[in-house]
Amino acid sequence: MSIAKALLLLLVAGLVAFDFITLRGKNRRGLLLEVAVFVAGAVFIVFPERATALAHVVGIGRGVDFLLYPTVIWLVRESLSSRRQRIESAEQLTQLVRAVAILQAREVGAPPHPQSDGASPQVVESSASVTA
């Protein structure tokens, strides 16, 4: 076995061990999927000719390309999906913080019995239902 193969297998085993320890029994199904994917990856690391044989079946020259193409496509898709989810989460946080701010808005130094004009605390409170 070459040094590169040994290092890659060590990396795969190390990542699985790290996730197993840090997850502490949580998200077991996700961990099982990760292990399955990593075992498949380890098989292709040790026996790269298997990947090449599979690549030839579908008309791709090299085994590494057979693995790389779908991986890159999946990673790009995952990256865009994560970005969209982050923006959606940020918008939800913004709406929540804004709703609290509007609900708690007060006129500075207002008398105890506010007048019914555009600046009274009561008016401000009534705006709490306004959303973006």
Partner 1 sequence: MASRVAILVPVRDDASGLARTLEAVRARAPELGGVTVFVVDDGSEPPVDPACLPERTSDFRVVLARHTVNLGQGAALETARQLALSAPVPFRAYVTMDADGQHRASDVRALVAAIEQGADVAFGNRFMGDSNVPPGRRVLLFCARWFERALTGLRLADAHNGFRAFRRGALERVVIRQNRMAHATEIKLRVSRAPALRVVEVPVSVRYSRETLAKGQRSTGAAAVASDLLLHYLFGDSP
- Given the rule CB under 8 A, which residues bind partner 1? 80, 83-84, 87, 90-91, 93-94, 97-98, 100-102, 104-110, 116-119, 121, 123-124, 126-127, 130, 132
1-39 exposure pattern, b = at least 16 Cβ within 10 A, e = fewer: eeeeeeebbeebeeebeeeeeeeeeeeeeeeeebeeebe
Q: Are 58 and 73 in contact (CB under 8 A)?
A: no
If the CB atoms of residues 58 and 132 are measured against partner 1, the closer one turns out to be: 132
Distance CA 18, CA 1 (A): 24
What is the nearest approach in angstroms of partner 1 to the Cβ of residue 71? 23
If the CB atoms of residues 41 and 121 are measured against partner 1, the closer one turns out to be: 121
The half-sphere exposure of 67 on its side-chain side, counting CA atoms within 13 A, is 16
If the CB atoms of residues 28 and 106 are measured against partner 1, the closer one turns out to be: 106
Question: Tokens 């779908």 label which residue?
Answer: 70
What is the nearest approach in angstroms of partner 1 to the Cβ of residue 113? 14
What is the nearest approach in angstroms of partner 1 to the Cβ of residue 88? 8
What is the nearest approach in angstroms of partner 1 to the Cβ of residue 123? 5
